[in-house]
């Protein structure tokens, strides 16, 4: 049964390839939240983006993301990381 846990932990370490458009939409959603709610102490853990209509919403620590078919979760560290450039420029 340890092979299942080893497989799970190795999956968690594999970097996920994201569509640059999804990353751009997620960053814009997060930036808009930061601009409009800069005085709120709540920090999201990431953004969920619908791949078909590009609608995004923030996920906060008390809620675990439950994704519907067609949705992608982008964690906050990918949104704030300047090395994960959307346009291929660093």
The token duo for 65 is 């993301």
For the chain, 90 residues long, the average pLDDT of each consecutive 10-residue run is 44 59 92 85 89 92 84 89 50
The predicted structure's pLDDT at residue 14: 38
Domain boundaries, the chain: 18-80
Provide the 10 A C-beta neighbour count for residue 39. Answer: 5
pTM above 0.85, yes or no: no
Smallest CA-to-CA distance from 19 within 80, 76, 84 is with 84
- Give the model's pLDDT for residue 40: 75
């Amino acid at each position: 049964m340890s092979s299942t846990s080893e497989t799970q932990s190795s999956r968690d370490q594999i970097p996920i390839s994201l569509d640059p458009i999804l990353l751009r939409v997620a960053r814009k959603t997060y930036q808009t939240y930061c601009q409009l709610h800069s005085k709120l102490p709540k920090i999201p853990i990431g953004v969920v983006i619908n791949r078909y209509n590009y609608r995004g919403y923030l996920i906060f620590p008390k809620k675990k993301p439950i994704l519907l078919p067609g949705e992608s979760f982008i964690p906050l560290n990918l949104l704030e990381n300047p090395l994960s450039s959307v346009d291929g420029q660093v």
